[in-house]
Amino acid sequence: MLLLMLALRATTLHAQHSEKEMDAKIDSILSLLTLEEKVAMCHAQSKFSSPGVPRLGISELWMSDGPHGVRAEINWDNWGYAGWTNDSITAFPALTCLAATFNPELSRQYGVAVGEEARYRRKDILLGPGVNIYRTPLNGRNFEYMGEDPHLASTLVVPYVQGVQQNGVAACVKHYALNNQERWRDHINVEVSDRALYEIYLPAFKAAVQEGGAWSVMGAYNQFRGQHCCHNEILLNQILKEDWGFDGVVVTDWGGAHDTREAALYGLDIEMGTGTDGLTTSTRNAYDYYYLARPFLSMIKSGAVPESVVDEKARRILRLMFRTNMNPNRPPGRMNNEEHLQVARAVGGEGIVLLKNDDGFFPINPDKEITIAVIGENATRAMTVGGGSSELKARDEVSPLRGLKERFRNATIIHAMGYASGPPQYGREVPSALDADSLRHAAVKAAGQADVVLFFGGLNKNHFQDCEGGDRRQFGLPFGQEELLAQLAEVNENIGVILISGNAVAMPWLSKVKALMQGWYLGSEAGHALADVISGDVNPSGKLPFSFPAKLSDNAAHHFGELSYPGDSINQHYKEGIFVGYRWHDIQKIKPLFAFGHGRSYTSFELSDIKTDKPSYSADGQAIVSCQVTNTGDADGAEVVQVYVGKPDSKVERAVKELKGFRKVHLKKGKKTRVEIPIEMNKLAFYDESISGWKLERGAYILFVGTASDNIVQKLEITVK
């Protein structure tokens, strides 16, 4: 046995060998494993770990939520926090904010930083990023995802995954697939066309696997065409593992497995979270009774399932181990350092979206001696807690109020809550014990005494808000905020609203305020990032990663009635097909409240001399769209040049235009530069259900070049031969 252990240890001293060498080592280890040991590797041993093989020195795998930072340590057998004093971390902005940066380089920095923190905490798998498509603004988990457009999400997920994994930590891309609502998420059966599946809901997952090289994928809770996504023949075996060549590990969402035979045969590798009380309730819920535990072992021993099935799972798990905890060359990681805080602050600064700015309300001069009334619970409420599995234990969270006080030292700042939402409680809604009338009266009084009102409203991480486990119950602002805004406008006309949310909201009050920012959930450096932009230290350059409809029925998922959203509790049909977000607004000619890609600046930009490198291209060619970008204003800033493509006279129904390229450019005031954006011709294909494959039509295409989906500066025509 000692010789075997020494031999195994020797194999780990040569990480980063070729895949062929790795596979040879895995074969040698597999030959040493008993059937029981191989089965044990396929299911949890605690809330966030799965077993290794102690007798051979093979370490267990440790996992952690989540995409915005490493979650506090959880108890071995229950969902309580372990109470460690050394598990406070840097909280990074939510992925909606990252998407709003339209900046792949920042996404890489984000991935590297969160990967370093996961590595320092000795995690092998980081459960993120999330790339489910923003289909409805009521989805409680939209804040964890990268917006409504598959090209944007695909472009940003790749550097994130690569950044995490350069630390020897596996990114676990989730939730695969079609987990686009929280209501009935554990059982709702989604019916969607193949075309919408391949064109809208799968591209970001495919990019994460094939371009990002993701080492693990998490299955979704819901069903797709009658099978749960955590053991789904089409999604896992056919598409993920066969078509895309995924060689990593498929992990269930916690409790996402439902059947031993399907879990064995339909693509699942590691089962986590089943019987969520673990060992603390009864042996019925013990880890050895998971679907891929003793029941799986019994099926193999009886011959109902061949041993080759568990061999394949063990092979994938060992491959993941060689990439993570059996790789001696992975770096040690870092946590809570200044560089990580700067990444969080930079992402926040570039992700904040200036939506409205009448009379140049923003920026506010930080040196001016004025009275600022900061109104709203969200000015002081901690937003790293709550929200479900993405909840974080931040070492420090700078509130918006604190950030403003630190930057606006010459101003007199008064704060009033104005409204109250109640404490965060996962799985249930707890009303506030504070008197709403008293809060409102104090806020109106403060506003009447101020030169400027900054209203910090929106949503929070409570149940039925931006939170896992339940969808929003209303499209408008909750907790009496709309009534409060109306009263504030009666006593002060200088109101700027900063929305803290991961979702669009209705805005019947929009005409009563001078300015509006989308502030997202910004993590540890929230207050500093917001103060940077409000003061003008940072020029806002964020762009909306999803459309804000004027009313809920303007959203495609809601247009088609309850069977489209939320379903009938059993089935749900995505009746809008490929027409998600701005695609729907375009084809229906419905003006959004704020369009996908929209975002204002404190300076101005001009796009000119827009052209392509040639007029026609082969099917495997690449068009280079170029333009001159000039900062024509009085401040340094950044603009995002966006290229959409449409196909007139198509043989199939298509969107008017679809995002196919973008480039963010930072320019000093008065400066100009030339920007080039490549457009791959094969990315203009549609998914042809008649051949179960992609088809690129010949003929004319229109390139729409602009700075938002509703702000197209010029159209160009090209031809695909």
Concatenating the DSSP letter of every residue in 40-84 gives HTTB-SBTTEE--BGGGTBPPEEEEE-TTSPPPPBPSSSSSB---
From the list 613, 530, 538, 545, the residue with the least C-alpha distance to 581 is 545
The residue with tokens 């019925």 is 284
Q: Tell me the C-alpha distance between 665 and 682, whole Å.
A: 26
The token pair that represents 51 in the structure block: 């077993």
Residue 253 annotated in active site: yes
Q: Say if residue 385 is exposed, middle or buried (CB neighbours under 10 Å; 0-12, 13-18, 19+).
A: middle
Q: How many C-beta atoms lie closer than 10 Å to residue 483's C-beta?
A: 14
Q: Tell me the C-alpha distance between 218 and 48, whole Å.
A: 14
Concatenating the DSSP letter of every residue in 560-583 gives T-TTTTT-SSSEEE-TTTT--THH
Pairing of strands 637-646, 658-667: antiparallel
User: Could you tell me which residues are beta bridge partners of residue 676?
Assistant: 626
Q: Which of 253, 466, 471, 586 is catalytic?
A: 253
| Contact criterion met (CB below 8 Å) for 698 and 713 | no
| Contact criterion met (CB below 8 Å) for 200 and 269 | no
Contacts of residue 58, Cβ cutoff 8 Å, sequence gap at least 6: 8, 29, 52, 318, 321, 326
Task: Give 314-378 as a 3 state SS string.
Answer: HHHHHHHHHHCCCCCCCCCCCCCCHHHHHHHHHHHHHHCEEEEEHHHCCCCCCCCCCEEEEECHH
Q: Tell me the C-alpha distance between 420 and 250, whole Å.
A: 41
Buried-state track 26-48, b at ≥16 Cβ within 10 A, e below 16: beebeeebeeebbbbbbbbbbbb
Give the residue numbers marked as catalytic.
Answer: 253
